[in-house]
């Protein structure tokens, strides 16, 4: 499509029900063979040419279907409500194919900006590739900012976010700056080669506001990079006095070769006031690297207005060949001075493939109100834990210090037939499938790690 379009739309459609239930409205159609002139985009046989036009005529929980092709434009949604954008359709808008993608890209700004201040609603995007866009500020591909007192949702399904750039959140940036509740669902998606100064892939920021509830599943993060900061793939940041407990869940997620110049090659959690509850389940963290915390880094400070709490529950994950220049090849937990608590519970996890140093490093300030702890059981570890300050580790009776005998260290994290991880885990609380969807258990007991042999 020729030309470059920026559309700023006051988008105020009505939310029918709460949560992720979106009422059905009209369907709009967009194609590279379409025409915008005097067109409401409502007929599949007469589609519009641009997403800009389709958004400008959409109301009350409409959906937009986009045919395969490349669309060079940027939309800015101001207001709120429900909107569904679905791509990769054929020219008759009857079937979707991953082999014929819908590509959104822009020059000098991101393709999608949503400034949600009311009414409440959900922005749903599916079967779309957001590619090679760049913008100053935050969110190279998508920016969603919630304000006011709202229930706001972002749902991404089968979305490919590739090679985008920004200052923060190279792929996506989510910002909550008030009493709004922000629910985010990402599934069956790919984030690859996005980069930013800070938070190379997805960035979430909460300032005196509830931390977003995030569920990311069946998704891959590959070679995303924070070039002058932390969180190569994902950042979760809390700042201020709101201590509402919400969960950030990563299940069946693969983090491969992400990097950060600072902390957390894959995931960086940082609390300067507030609570972060991170669940990592059935995931593979492979060959990520950072200055500190090659795969995961959690850092908490006291901001003098509220306690800072980070809880990480790690279950049936495989950490392999992650690397750091400082402490914690796989995981670094650092608690600063003040009312600070960082706790990591590790069950059925494998830590392998580190060439030197500790896989997990815990650093606790000497303040009596600071607590950094690691509790682990039914896990395999190749290297000892590094404890600094008053940090503590407690092991159950089922932690093995041995080689897990993976198929190919640094490349293939499946278990060999001789692996000591087979049937050595606990099935209590374990997921019923492994990271590839195979049944767990598949033998006398549950295996340790993301793979069920």
Does some domain include residue 429? no
Between 16 and 106, whose confidence is greater?
106
Tokens of 279: 């669940």
Per-residue model confidence as pLDDT tens digits over 157-180 = 999 999 999 999 999 999 987 777
Report the C-alpha gap between 79 and 152 in whole angstroms: 11
Does some domain include residue 377? no
* 130 in Cβ contact with 141 (< 8 Å): yes
Does some domain include residue 259? yes
Tokens of 204: 């979430």
Spell out the residues 6+ positions from residue 368 whose beta carbon is closer than 8 angstroms to its own. Answer: none
Does some domain include residue 133? yes
pLDDT over 80 (residue 192): yes
* 302 in Cβ contact with 309 (< 8 Å): no
Does some domain include residue 379? no
Give me the percent of the chain exceeding a pLDDT of 90. 71
pLDDT over 90 (residue 346): yes
Element (H, E) at 102: strand 102-105
Spell out the residues 6+ positions from residue 37 whose beta carbon is closer than 8 angstroms to its own. Answer: none
- The length of the chain, given as a count of residues: 453
Does some domain include residue 414? no
Tokens of 13: 């459609």
- 11-to-55, 57, 140, 364, 417 alpha-carbon distances in Å: 8, 9, 21, 48, 57
pLDDT over 60 (residue 73): yes
Q: So what's the pLDDT on residue 10?
A: 42
Does some domain include residue 407? no
- The range of the structural domain enclosing residue 256 comes to 5-324+340-352
CA angle 256, 429, 343 (to 5 degrees): 65
Spell out the residues 6+ positions from residue 85 whose beta carbon is closer than 8 angstroms to its own. Answer: 51, 63, 64, 66, 123, 124, 125, 126, 128
Per-residue model confidence as pLDDT tens digits over 135-147 = 999 999 999 988 8
Q: Got the DSSP string for 294-347? A: SSEEEEEE--SSS-EEEEEEEES-EEES-EESSS-SSEEEEE-SSSEEEEEEEE
Cβ-based burial of 72 (10 A; exposed 0-12, middle 13-18, buried ≥19): middle
Residue at token pair 């909460």: 206
Per-residue model confidence as pLDDT tens digits over 212-240 = 899 999 999 999 999 999 999 999 998 87
What 8-state DSSP symbol labels residue 119? S
How many distinct structural domains can be found in the chain?
A: 1
Per-residue model confidence as pLDDT tens digits over 3-54 = 334 444 444 433 222 233 334 689 999 999 999 999 999 999 999 999 999 9
Does some domain include residue 394? no
Residue 56: phi and psi, rounded to 5, are: -65, -25
What 8-state DSSP symbol labels residue 53? H
User: Judging by DSSP bridges, how do beta strands 392-395 and 399-401 pair with one another?
Assistant: unpaired
Residue 198's closest CA among 233, 174, 162?
A: 233
Tokens of 325: 């220049």
* 315 in Cβ contact with 308 (< 8 Å): no
Per-residue model confidence as pLDDT tens digits over 411-422 = 999 999 999 999
Residue 231: phi and psi, rounded to 5, are: 75, 80
**CA count, 13 A, side-chain hemisphere, 452:** 23
* 281 in Cβ contact with 316 (< 8 Å): yes
Tokens of 388: 């600094």
Q: So what's the pLDDT on residue 181?
A: 83
Report the C-alpha gap between 94 and 27 in whole angstroms: 13
Question: How many Cβ atoms are within 10 Å of 223's Cβ, its own excluded?
Answer: 20
Q: So what's the pLDDT on residue 244?
A: 67
Q: What number is the average pLDDT over the span 186-192?
A: 98
């Amino acid at each position: 499509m020729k030309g470059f379009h920026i559309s700023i739309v006051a988008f105020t459609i009505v939310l029918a029900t709460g949560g992720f239930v979106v009422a059905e409205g009209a369907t709009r159609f967009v194609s590279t063979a379409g025409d915008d002139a005097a067109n409401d985009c409502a007929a599949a046989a007469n589609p519009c040419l641009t997403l800009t036009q389709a958004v400008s005529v959409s109301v009350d929980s409409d959906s937009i279907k986009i045919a395969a092709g490349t669309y060079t434009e940027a939309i800015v949604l101001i207001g709120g409500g429900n909107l569904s954008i679905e791509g990769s359709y054929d020219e008759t808008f009857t079937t979707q194919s991953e082999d014929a993608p819908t590509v959104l890209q822009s020059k000098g700004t991101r393709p999608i900006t949503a400034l949600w201040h009311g009414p409440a609603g959900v922005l749903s995007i599916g079967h779309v590739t957001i590619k090679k866009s760049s913008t100053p500020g935050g969110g190279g591909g998508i920016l969603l900012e919630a304000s006011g007192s709202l229930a706001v949702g972002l749902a991404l399904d089968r979305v490919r976010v590739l090679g985008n750039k920004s200052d923060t959140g190279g792929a996506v940036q989510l910002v909550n700056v008030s009493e709004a509740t922000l629910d985010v669902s990402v599934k069956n998606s790919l984030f690859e080669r996005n980069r930013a100064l800070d938070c190379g892939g997805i960035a979430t920021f909460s300032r005196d506001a509830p931390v977003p509830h995030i569920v990311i599943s069946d998704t891959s993060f590959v070679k995303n990079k924070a070039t002058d900061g932390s969180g190569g793939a994902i950042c979760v940041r809390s700042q201020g006095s709101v201590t509402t407990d919400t969960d950030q869940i990563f299940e069946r997620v693969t983090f491969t070769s992400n990097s950060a110049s600072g902390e957390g090659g894959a995931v960086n959690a940082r609390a300067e006031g507030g609570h972060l509850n991170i669940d990592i389940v059935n995931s593979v963290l492979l060959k990520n690297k950072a200055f500190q915390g090659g795969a995961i880094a959690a850092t908490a400070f006291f901001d003098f207005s509220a306690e800072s709490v980070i809880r990480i529950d790690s279950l049936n994950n495989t950490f392999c060949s992650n690397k750091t220049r400082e402490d914690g090849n796989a995981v670094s937990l650092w608690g600063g001075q003040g009312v600070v608590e960082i706790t990591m519970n590790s069950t059925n996890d494998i830590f392998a493939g580190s060439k030197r140093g500790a896989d997990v490093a815990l650093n606790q300030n000497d303040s009596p109100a600071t607590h950094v702890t690691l509790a682990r059981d039914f896990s395999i570890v190749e290297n000892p834990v590094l404890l600094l300050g008053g940090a503590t580790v407690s092991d159950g009776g089922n932690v093995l210090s041995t080689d897990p005998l993976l198929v190919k260290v640094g490349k293939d994290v499946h278990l060999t037939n001789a692996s000591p991880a087979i049937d050595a885990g606990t099935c209590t609380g374990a997921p019923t499938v492994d990271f590839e969807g195979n049944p767990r258990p598949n033998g006398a007991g549950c295996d340790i790690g993301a793979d069920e042999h």
